[in-house]
Amino acid sequence: MIGAGSWGTALAALLCGKRERVTLWCRELEIAESVNTQHRNALYVSELELPQNLVADTDLARVAATHRVLVMVVPTQFTRAVVEAMRPHLRDDAVLVSASKGIEVQKIETLAEIYDEMLPEAMAQRACFLSGPSFAREVIRGLPAAVAIACRDAAVLPAIQELFFFPHFRTYRTDDVVGVELGGALKNVIAIAAGICDGLQYGHSARAALLTRGLAEIARLGIAMGGKAETFAGLSGMGDLLLTATSTQSRNYTVGHRLGSGETLEQIQAGAREVAEGVKTADAAYRLAQQKGVEMPIVGAVYAILYEQRNAREVVLELLSREMKPEVTG
């Protein structure tokens, strides 16, 4: 497992139920020591006990060189640098499984596009993408969840699906990498919008409208990028949007709620250890939509509140003043 934040720790703990030993690569020595000696992650999900067969290692080159299946769970904006550091050490038969959700701002690229750019063609082709409604704490506690896993290489996908398949963690396979990735990345931006809507106390009807139109935006950009329409109705699309945009457990929803309640992004991010991917992805998605000529008014509104210091109420008024139109859902 490459990345020892909440989600890397949760997925590593899950896989411990199927493998004799799972290695967790940690940037932070403090995490490695606490996992190896106390079976806890001192900095993330620290209240939860971890399996005894989870072993932490801080040497990225060693972990990359000695494992065939590498699950990538570093926040999106750091993925390029971590892949760069791993690249010379990777085995020729390595299978990367991406479990992060976001779009990189630096080059406006999805994680699949970063892998395509940086890895040998066959290795990038067999990379898998796991995404869907799943909170780390709930997964560590063994509560039921279901997610999607996507891969372009049909020969690799069944084995990776089986690796991540448990009675309480059901994994559904698809070949739609673009759809799964974009659903997971963009739902975080719409979750920020939903939090803003609730922070402004606009009510449940407004939030339902926002989520429905938000999903239409996600599907519109996703289809323009080559994703399949039906994927956006699935676990990595509507499923994850429902979870993230309606739960106070979500970091993205919480950022939005605090913005809607009057705090600034600077105040919210000061001292925050955990990542809310939607903040950076809002920037990347706004630019991507412009590049592709895709209309995304809700993403534009989140961008204006986050990056143009626009007043949230005024931005919502502008959204509500848009012209009359037919209902198109993708």
Check binding of 250 to ligand G3P (CB under 6 A). yes
* Chain length of the chain: 330
Among 75, 133, 179, 195, binds ligand G3P (CB under 6 A): 133
Q: Which stretch binds ligand G3P (CB under 6 A): 63-71, 196-204, 244-252, 299-307?
A: 244-252
Integer CA distances (angstroms), 169 to 32, 249, 279, in order: 26, 19, 28
173 is in an annotated binding site: no
Give the number of residues in contact with ligand NAD, rule: CB under 6 A.
25
> Of the two residues 4 and 94, which places its CB atom closer to ligand NAD in the complex?
4
101 is in an annotated binding site: yes
Q: Which of 18, 107, 187, 292 is catalytic?
A: 187
Nearest approach, Cβ of residue 130 and ligand G3P (Å) = 11
What is the pattern of x (binds ligand NAD, CB under 6 A) and - over residues 61-80? Answer: ------------xxxx-x--
179 is in an annotated binding site: no
Q: Which stretch binds ligand G3P (CB under 6 A): 8-16, 111-119, 242-250, 264-272?
A: 242-250
252 binds, among ligand NAD, ligand G3P, none (CB under 5 to 8 A by kind): ligand G3P
292 is in an annotated binding site: no
Integer CA distances (angstroms), 35 to 1, 22, 49, in order: 13, 12, 9
Check binding of 160 to ligand NAD (CB under 6 A). no
109 binds, among ligand NAD, ligand G3P, none (CB under 5 to 8 A by kind): none
**Annotation marks residue 280 as catalytic:** no
| Beta pairing partners, 166 | 169
Q: Would you give the end-to-end CA distance of the chain in angstroms? A: 35
Q: Which stretch binds ligand NAD (CB under 6 A): 56-64, 164-172, 274-282, 298-306?
A: 274-282
Give the distance from CA 310 to its chain's centroid: 26
Check binding of 230 to ligand NAD (CB under 6 A). no
The amino acid occupying position 74 is V
195 is in an annotated binding site: no
As a whole number of angstroms, the distance between CA 32 and CA 42 comes to 9
Check binding of 253 to ligand NAD (CB under 6 A). no
171 binds, among ligand NAD, ligand G3P, none (CB under 5 to 8 A by kind): none
Binding site for NADPH: what residues are annotated?
6-7, 27, 44, 101, 136, 251, 275, 277
Binding site: what residues are annotated?
3-8, 27, 44, 78, 101, 132, 134, 136, 187, 240, 250-252, 275, 277
Task: Point out the residues that are catalytic.
Answer: 187
Q: Which residues bind ligand NAD (CB under 6 A)?
A: 3-8, 27-28, 44, 73-76, 78, 82, 99-102, 134-136, 274-275, 277
Q: Which residues bind ligand G3P (CB under 6 A)?
A: 101, 133-135, 188, 191, 240, 243-244, 250-252
